[in-house]
A and B are shown apart, each in its own frame.
Chain A
Amino acid sequence: MSTNVADYVRTTLVRRGRWGIGEIVFWLIAAATLYFLPERHLILNEIAIIGLFALSLDLILGYAGIVSLGHAAFFGLGAYTAGILARDGIADPLLGLGAAAIAAAILGFVTSFLVLRGSDLTKLMVTLGVALVLGEIANQASWLTGGADGLQGITMGPILGLFEFDIFGTTAYAYSLTVTFLLFIVARRIVVSPYGLSLRSIRDNPLKARAVGIPVNHRLVAVYTLAAAYAGVAGALLAQTTQFVSLDVLAFHRSADVMLVLVIGGVGYLYGGLIGAIVFKVLQDVISAWTPQYWQFWIGLILVIIVLVGRERLTERVRVLWKGAAGRTAKSPETLQKTSAREV
C-alpha cells in the first residue's frame, strides 16, 4: 500500500518534471532575442533580472505561502554587495554574484525566523520593516554605500575573463539570461521534488502539514533562505549590468512592483514571474512613453482590476492554456501572453 503511494507520487513527480514543448519554445525564443532584437537588449536585460526577482518571490509566496512586502531587502543587499565588491577592485562578475547570493542568503536565514510566527499582517509588517531598516542603514552608512548619491565608480571585469560588457547591453543580457535560466532550472528541479511538494502542502494547510510529519519550520526557513539568495543574485545582476546602485534598490516600490509582476504573470507556477516580467516591462515601456510621469496610475488601475476580476481565475485560465499548449499543440508562449492580456 505505502509503496504504491510512494510509486504513485514518484511517477507523478517525474511526469511533472518533464520538459514540455511549450517550455522549450519559451527558452528558445528567449535565446533567439539575443540575435534578433539587438536594439532591445537593455530592456530585455531588465526583464530577465525582474523575472528572476519575481521567480524568487514566487518561491516563498506561490509555493510556501509567505506574504512578503519587503523582498527588496534581499535584492538591495545583493546589489550593494556586488556593487561594493566591484568598486573596491574585485571586478570578477561571478565572484560578485556568489558573494551577493551568500550575503542575501545569510540575511534571509536570519530574518526567516521572524516570519515563522504570526498572521499574514504580521509577516507583511515584519518583512516590510526589515526592508525599511536595510534602507535606513544604506542611507546612513554613506561611507560604504554612497548614501543618497548612489554607489558610483563600479567597473566590471570581463565574465570568466572572456566577455567584456559592451554599451549595447548584449553581453549584459546574455549574462543575465544565462544566470536566470540556470537558476530557473534549479528552482524547477526543486519544486517538482518531494521537498517542493511538502512546501505546497504547507502553503495549503500548515496545520495538516505539521500533523502528517512535515517539519514545517525547517522547510520554511530553507525556502526563505533560498529565495533570499535568488533575490540577491537578481540584485547583483542589476548592479553589475547597469554599473550603478542607488537607494532605489531597497525602496518600497520595488517590493510592491515585484509583487505586481508576479501577480500579472500568476502566482504559484514558475513561469508566472517570467511572463509577468515581460508583460510588466512592456506595459511600463508603452505607458511611460505615453504619459511619462503618471504611468503609476495605470499600473495601479491594472492591479485593482486584476484583483476585482479575480486573480485565480485569470491565472487558472492561462495555466490551462499553458498545459494544453505544452501537451498537444505547442503554441508559442507569445500567443499565451496575448490571451492573458486580452482577458485582463
Chain B
Amino acid sequence: MLTILFDGIAYGMLLFVLACGLAVTLGLMNFVNLAHGAFAMAGGYVTAVLMNRIGVPFLATLPLAFIVPAILGLVLERTLYKRLYTRSHLDQVLFSIGLVFMAVAAVDYSFGSQQQLIQLPTWLQGRIDILGVQVGLYRSFIIVICGALVVALQLILTKTRFGSRLRAAVDDPRVARGLGINVSLIFATTFAFGSGLAGLGGALGAEILGLDPTFPLKFMIYFLIVVTVGGTTSITGPFLASLLLGIADVAGKYYVPSVGAFVIYTLMIVVLVLRPQGLFERAR
C-alpha cells in the first residue's frame, strides 16, 4: 500500500518535471503545444545514446539531457513557434501535431523503433526496507531530484526578479509589455528552460515510463491532463495535479488493472466539464 503510494509519488513528480514547461507555454502565450513530449523524448534519447554507445555514466548524461532539448527548444521557438502565437488554436494544434509526426518518424529512422534500455548504475538499483515499506532506490532518487527541482522552481518564480516578470507576463502580457518587460525574451527563455526540464524528465523517466519513438504520442495526453487539470497560472496547481495523476495511475493499474486508464480519462472529462479553468484555480 505505502509502496504503491511511494511509486505513485515518484511517477507524479516525474510527470510534473515533464509537464511544467507545457504549463508555462500554455499559460504565458496561450499556445497549445502538443509537441512538448518530443522534447522529453529528445532528452531521453540523449541519455540512452550517450550511455549505450559512448559509455558515459548515467549521472553525467543528465546535464546534457537538459541542455540539448533546451537548445532545440530555443531554436524552434525563435524560428517557428513565435510565428504562431497570434494564430488560432486550430493552427497551433495542427502545427504541433505535424512536429510530433516528424519527431516520431525521425527518431524511428535514426535509432530504430525498439525500446531504448538504459542500464542504471548499481547504487541506484534494488530496493531497501524503511520502516517496513519497500522503497525503490531509483524512485527515491527521482523523488529527491524532482523535489529539489520543484522547490527551486518555486523559489525562482516567487523570489527572483525574473520570476516576478514571468508572473506579470503570464497575468497580462500586454500590460507587462507596456511596463517595459521584454515578454518575448522571457518567453524564449522559459520555453527553452521548459523544454530542457522535459528532456531531463524524459531521461530520468526512461527507466520507468519506457522510451521508444512513440513516446510523444503516448504521453501527450498525460501532459495535457496535468496542465488542464492543474491550471496554468501557478506551479502548485500542476504539481498537485501531477501527484494526483501519478498516484491514481499507479494505484489504478495495481488494484483494478482491467479498468486501466479508463478512470483517469473519465475523471479528466468530469473535471474539465465542471471546472474548465482547472481544479485548483479560482474562476475568472
Contact = CB atoms under 8 A, between A and B. Distances in A.
Contacts of A311: 91, 94
A300 B269 contact: no
Interface in B98-119: 98-106, 108-109
A126 B109 contact: no
B144 interface: no
A130 interface: yes
A303 B34 CA distance: 14
A157 B97 CA distance: 40
A118 B272 contact: yes
B26 interface: yes
A140 B262 CA distance: 10
A121 B262 contact: no
A304 interface: yes
Contact of B272 (A125, A252, A263): A125
B7 to A, nearest CB: 22
Interface in B240-284: 258-262, 265-266, 268-269, 272-273, 276
Interface residues of B, number: 42
B190 interface: no
Contact of A139 (B95, B260, B269): B260
A297 B109 contact: yes
Taking chain A's interface residues, is the majority helix, strand, or loop, or is none over half, making it mixed?
helix
A67 interface: yes
B53 interface: no
Interface stretch (B55-63, B82-90, B135-143, B147-155): B82-90
A209 interface: no
A127 to B, nearest CB: 10
Among B32, B90, B104, B266, max chain A CB count under 10 A is at B90
A326 to B, nearest CB: 27
A339 interface: no
Contacts of B83: 308
Given A297-B102, A299-B101, A126 B273 contact: yes
Q: Which of A267, A294, A300 has the most CB of B within 10 A?
A: A300
A268 to B, nearest CB: 11
Nearest to B84: A307
A82 to B, nearest CB: 24
Interface in A292-343: 293-297, 299-304, 306-308, 311
Contacts of B94: 259-260, 263, 303, 306-307, 311
The 7 closest A-B pairs by CB, nearest first: A300-B101, A303-B98, A297-B105, A118-B276, A300-B102, A120-B89, A304-B98
24 contacts: A114-B272, A117-B273, A119-B89, A119-B276, A121-B32, A124-B32, A126-B269, A128-B221, A133-B269, A136-B265, A140-B258, A140-B260, A252-B217, A256-B101, A260-B94, A294-B105, A294-B109, A296-B101, A297-B102, A297-B106, A297-B109, A303-B94, A303-B101, A308-B84
Given A120-B88, A126-B269, A299-B101, 6 more contacts: A67-B89, A114-B273, A140-B262, A296-B101, A303-B97, A307-B84
